[in-house]
Structure 1
Amino acid sequence: MESREINEFKEKYRDIILGYLESQDEEILYSCEKLTREGMENGVSPEEIVNLHRAILEEYDANLPTHVSSSFDVLLEMMMGYGMAHMEHLSLRTEQQALRREIAQAEDMQKTMMKSDIPNVAGLEVGAVSVPMRQMSGDFYSFTNEGENKISVTLADVIGKGIPAAFSMSMLKYASDNYGGDAKTPSEMLQNLNEVAETNIDDNMFITMFYGLYDTTNHLFEFASAGHEVGLYFDAQTQSFTDLYARGLPLGIDRNATYRAFEKQVAKDDMIFIMSDGVTETRTADGFIEREDLITVFKDSIGLAPQKLVKEVYDRLCKLQDYELRDDFTLICLKRV
């Protein structure tokens, strides 16, 4: 026995067809969209509508031409196929919506795990901006107090995209937090994390990392790199930029890799810039941005406070690539004050 809703749907459909056949009034057709929604809500299939349509026409004209009536058999088969495809589409859409909700939950979890507050340190101003290309980021940065007079800064980038990269980064962040806190040298820190990465991430994935240790007593910056992007150093006295260069294999390639540490004495008003390749590989219509052009962007904003400076650089580089990030973007600025 058909439900009241189905019977009402059939009556409305009959009224539309008969009314339109009598008057050819297009106003009648406007009600089809609303009725379509009612049909979908009540589970009326496309093939049921075809059979209903044929029955109404045969009722309207007892002498309906045979070729017209027979043509509905073809339409019926088409609608049955369409209906199956439509149901498959709805099923896939439901699965996609569920996956999006799960990704959104994973994104929230990652943001909570990866959150790192900008430190408040005497003699040092810090700015940081990190924007993922997709929902989940393959970059992470963190600041950790390493005793009374030292602060560590970490910036890492998974070579890879999407959820696997994001979860590999979350794993490394957890390991980094566990190893930190006792003023390990940059060399020791990278060697420890390299063992974690080599053991726990896929063979087709590896991680670049920059790790620095800033001593606020004598303003000495010790740093080491695991294949990470070369940083920049701004000398306030000469108003010049130089590369903050360090070498080392990315994490996860060779368990026995060692990492050499470097030192830089930081004078008053000097700045240290650490960045991911989302900064250095800004791509314009003419190709990747040149190092000199990147330095010009930094130089144009050098008078700003660190947090405003990194935000201004992000905005400028975003504009250069038509506001479409092609990689995760992370930029950190340390300024001695």
Structure 2
Amino acid sequence: MNQNLKNEYETLLTAYINEPLENHLYGAQRLSKWIMEQKVPPEEVVSFHLHTLKKLFPDLPSELKTSFDFLLEVMIGYGIQYQDTENLMNRQKELEYEIEVAVGMQQTLLPDAPPPMPGIDIGVWSAAAKRMSGDYYNFVHHKDSLGIAIADIIGKGIPAALCMSMIKYSMDRLEQPLSPSEVLRGLNTVVERNVDPNMFITMVYGVYDSSSHHFRYATAGHEPGLYYDSREKAFHELEAKGLVLGVSREVEYEEKEVLLQSGDALIFFSDGVSECRINGSFLERDQLTDLIGANLHLPAQQAVQAIYEHLLMMAGYQLQDDQTILIIKRA
């Protein structure tokens, strides 16, 4: 193939030297594309050129011939660098494809929408700071109860997506209602056995009983949620002690309970929300509760979206970390 290119190059260069017409230059442009498609090294193109000049001008000055030797050496180095760059670009394309696959896989791991539950209104909003998120949420629906999880994987990208799939698979196997502390103990064992020691997962898991309206919860090092008391018109932190998932196999998770009256709400979020940067400083707790309180009159899904959009505006439309907000309101 290179011999054909060499012959074509010689024909076009000879024609242009004898009669420098514009259509010869168009031919050179087409030839250039052919050369690139065939991945001909630049030093070989220089060799084509010198070979043609020697045929056209047998008495070519020796100094000029020597200069082409110099140019060939330059082009050899250039060609090697060009090949390395092309290899890197090809590898980047492969990584881009792998990331797209991982992004798609992440999307399948998240519920399309909260499941319907009599007497409560649920809204959830999750946004990734980059293409892939380290935040995760899930619902486990049983007859009279609803398990609710929100987690933050310390790490992002494909490893985070793989961790998410493992957590989802483990939660999907909860065929009977378990207490929040039992769920976290089970997940902790799975994570400790299967996840790299440098990766950790924080999580809060709670179970809402639709018949009694009690919400039992436990946390594994996750950002504490908030309980809104509609009678007091005040927010209270849902505190519970528990080590992050995956650090130690023998861990106990403290379990607590709250009763929701009509108009009360539970709010859970990832640290991307509580540690949102506003004008270079972290979001104050009272700023967050004021923002949540200003939107709790809305349906839960509209409320979480409005809170996120306001936070995004306050942060100058630049997310520093993934943000997930989940609200449960009792009717």
How far did residue 219 of structure 1 move?
A: 1.4
Aligned to 2:245: 251
| 1:212 to partner: Cα distance | 0.7
Identity of aligned residues (%): 38
Q: 1:28 to 1:293 in 2, by over 3 A?
A: farther
CA contact (8 A) 2:268 2:326 kept: yes
1:176 aligns with 2:171: yes
- One-letter identity of the residue aligned with 1:36: S
> 1:328: how far off?
2.3
Aligned to 2:205: 211
Alignment of 1:131-142 (within 5 A): 131-142=127-138
Shift of the 302–60 alpha-carbon distance from structure 1 to 2, 3 Å rule, reads farther
Deviation string, structure 1 residues 18-47 (Cα, Å, up to 9, x no partner): 66xx69x8x987876554322201333201
Unaligned runs of 5+ in 1: none
Alignment check: 8 A CA contact 2:15 2:24 kept: no
- TM-score (normalised: structure 2): 0.88
Separation in 1 of the partners of 2:212 and 2:317? 41
Whole-angstrom CA distance in 1 between matches of 2:312 and 2:11: 57
2:296 corresponding residue in structure 1:
302
Q: Cα deviations across residues 196-217 of structure 1 (Å, max 9, x unaligned)?
A: 2222222222211100111111
Name whichever of 203-212 and 50-59 sits farther off. 50-59
Give me the whole-angstrom Cα distance separating, in 1, the residues matched to 2:111 and 2:253: 27
Q: Which residue of 2 aligns with 1:149?
A: 144
Q: Look up the SS of the partner of 2:196 in the other structure.
A: coil
Secondary structure at 1:151 match in 2: strand
2:159 to 147, 160, 164: 164
Q: Does 1:242 align with 2:239?
A: no
Aligned length: 331
> What pairs with 1:22-171 in structure 2 (closer than 5 Å)?
34-57=30-53, 64-115=60-111, 117-146=113-142, 148-171=143-166
Partner of 2:194: 200
Q: Distance in 1 between matches of 2:326 and 2:42?
A: 58
Name the SS of the counterpart of 2:151 in structure 1.
strand
Give the alignment's TM-score, normalised by structure 1. Answer: 0.87
Higher alpha-carbon deviation: 130-139 or 75-84: 130-139
AA partner of residue 108 (structure 1): G
User: What is the SS of the residue equivalent to 2:249?
Assistant: coil
Name 1:11's counterpart in structure 2. Answer: 11
1:119 and 1:278 map into 2 onto residues whose CA distance is 25
CA contact 1:116–1:141 (8 Å) conserved in 2: no
CA distance in 1, matches of 2:27, 2:276: 52
What is the SS of the residue equivalent to 1:263? strand
CA distance in 2 between partners of 1:267 and 1:16 (Å): 89
1:172-207 Cα shifts (integer Å, max 9, x gaps): 2211221x2422111111112112222222222221
Contact 1:226–1:248 (CA under 8 A) maintained in structure 2: yes
Deviation at 1:274, TM superposition (A): 0.7
Q: Which residue of 2 aligns with 1:332?
A: 326
The residue identity in structure 2 corresponding to 1:172 is: I
Deviations 1:74-120 (A, max 9, x none): 21111111112222222232233223223322332332234353111
Distance 2:148 2:316 in 1: 30
Residue segments in structure 2 that go unaligned for 5+ positions in a row: none
